[in-house]
Structure 1
Amino acid sequence: MVFILATLIGVVAGLRAMMAPAAISWAAHLGWLRLGDTPLALLGYSWTPWILTLLALGELVTDQLPSTPSRTVPVQFGGRVVMGALSGAAIGSPSGSPTGGAMAGAVGAVIGTLGGQAARANLASAFGKDQPAAFLEDAVAILAALAIVMVLP
């Protein structure tokens, strides 16, 4: 179950890079994810979820800008994989599997990045413009992140 959740949070990172660590940080801060004795305890500190939430909100805004680069350019793609791996490692840490969680999160981020791009392109084509597809992708990322942290073991 841990690796499935780590993969799924990676998919969220592939859709919106900062949404995954923000959700994980809130889960850790609220005590839903026990990171207190791990190297990732920083995610549960009192100020971390607020900072990551601001970054996630900023990403939701900048994603709507026409000047925002594609999620598949190296920096964007790499950032999503790193955030997916970090978030997956956090999910795996309480059970002693941070490396496996990180690998699952990274794989999920690749799936989310490529799958999200394809789905958004198809939706944008169906809608005749990108903005409704982007808003739908935002909603999927937010709801998926919430669902994942609410079922953490």
Structure 2
Amino acid sequence: MKSSPLSAFSIGVVSGMRAFSGPALVSQKLSAETPNPLFNSRLAFMASPKVANVFKVLAGGELIGDKIPHGPDRISPPQLIARLASGATSGAVLSEARGASVRVGALLGAAGALAGAFAFFHLRRYLNHDQDVPDPLLAVIEDAITYGAGWAVVK
């Protein structure tokens, strides 16, 4: 897993697209690394296989929930706050694991989540409403982009 300001921002964008995706991807990657890159860190719990499994279950539930019509918009305040927290956490953990600034990683992760949430909300709305692309198809494409981009960031 490379660490750079762009990595923290990018995992934030992924978290803005799907709130649990960033923590799930980062935790899964770190739980497979030996030695634990977060050893003696306050964030060491994120490298636990149990935590990685919990995030994977939550992320899976989110993938299903996104396909349900009439769910809350990702840019509504509660949803957006969750995405900002997810992006900040993912950016901080990613940065800490690679010896970069946790604070900068958290700020960049939150900024990426904000950008990702709004950009993909409006893109999906445009494609669905103005271009008549079926929303379930857009949801599946967005899932693929989210996890494809996320794995590229954490590897």
TM category (shorter chain) comes to over 0.9
* Paired residue type of 1:148: V
In the TM superposition, structure 1's runs of 4+ consecutive aligned residues that sit over 3 Å from their partners are none
For 1:43 and 1:128, locate their aligned partners in 2 and report how far apart those are by CA, in whole Å.
Answer: 37
Cα deviation for residue 67 of structure 1 reads 3.0
Identity %: 33
For 1:138 and 1:81, locate their aligned partners in 2 and report how far apart those are by CA, in whole Å.
Answer: 19
Counting only pairs closer than 5 Å after superposition, residues 51-62 of structure 1 correspond to structure 2 as 51-62=54-65
Cα deviation for residue 96 of structure 1 reads 4.1
Counting only pairs closer than 5 Å after superposition, residues 52-131 of structure 1 correspond to structure 2 as 52-93=55-96, 94-125=98-129, 126-131=131-136
Cα deviation for residue 138 of structure 1 reads 0.7
* Paired residue type of 2:86: M
For 2:33 and 2:4, locate their aligned partners in 1 and report how far apart those are by CA, in whole Å.
Answer: 17
- TM-score normalised per structure 2: 0.91
Q: Secondary structure at the match of 1:95?
A: coil
For 1:127 and 1:84, locate their aligned partners in 2 and report how far apart those are by CA, in whole Å.
Answer: 30
For 1:73 and 1:92, locate their aligned partners in 2 and report how far apart those are by CA, in whole Å.
Answer: 28
Aligned length: 150
The reply on whether 1:11 has 2:13 as its aligned counterpart is yes
Q: CA distance change for structure 1 residues 96 and 129 in 2, over 3 Å: closer, same or farther?
A: closer
For 1:144 and 1:96, locate their aligned partners in 2 and report how far apart those are by CA, in whole Å.
Answer: 21
